[in-house]
Amino acid sequence: MKKTVTRIGILSSGGDSPGMNAAIRAVVRTGIYHGLEVYGIMRGYSGMVEDDIIKMESRSVANIIQRGGTILKTARCKEFFEAEGRRKAYENLKKRDINGLIVLGGDGSFRGAQIFSNEYDIPCIGLPGTIDKDIAGTDFTIGFDTAVNTAVQAIDKIRDTADAHDRLFVIEVMGRDAGYIALHSGIATGAENILIPERKTDMIDILA
């Protein structure tokens, strides 16, 4: 028998990424439009464990669509990855009758949501918020486009200096174990070579 979700909580967890506030605004206003009560959970899973949860209204997310960061704040919570921490989190949701959860974050945040959902039978939806684009099953992630465009703008500016001095510049971008930012920004700026973790790098070929 399917449960009817009437109250949802939304949190942002892990590293922040551009576009998180726009996503929070969309969730809050869409949820209210469909007759749901929406609660904001502050500082990610820490807010669930410590009972830092606030009710959201349409006006709670006014004028945030263009802002960076996340109005719900974000953090990493070691306690949530312990059974006792998750029990506290569940009790804090239960006393407000929150029966659905939306998690805005990356792979680590999603692993926590999966464990929590399996333990307490609370449906969870993951919104992929990471500039790295390293979440399986989605073409783009919230923040990836901004990260690529920021890298492209920086490379375009530094290219003038490289040309003026007849120098070869090596540009390092973010992405951790995923090379999507390097690949997309490298193609967009006409890089001579693009080094990504997914492909073995041979320094002899690079220097040839």
| Secondary element (H or E) of residue 186 | helix 180-189
Cβ pair 23, 104 in contact under 8 A: yes
Kindly compute the dihedral angle of the four CA atoms of residues 122, 128, 130, 132, in this order, to the nearest 10 degrees: 130
> Cβ-count burial of 13 within 10 angstroms (0-12 exposed, 13-18 middle, 19+ buried)?
buried
Residue in 132, 139, 166, 205 annotated catalytic: 132
For residue 10, the cross-strand partners are 40, 102
* Cβ neighbours of residue 33 closer than 8 Å, sequence gap 6 or more: none
Could you identify the residue written with the tokens 């551009």? 18
Tell me whether residue 145 is one of the annotated catalytic residues.
no
Positions marked active-site: 132
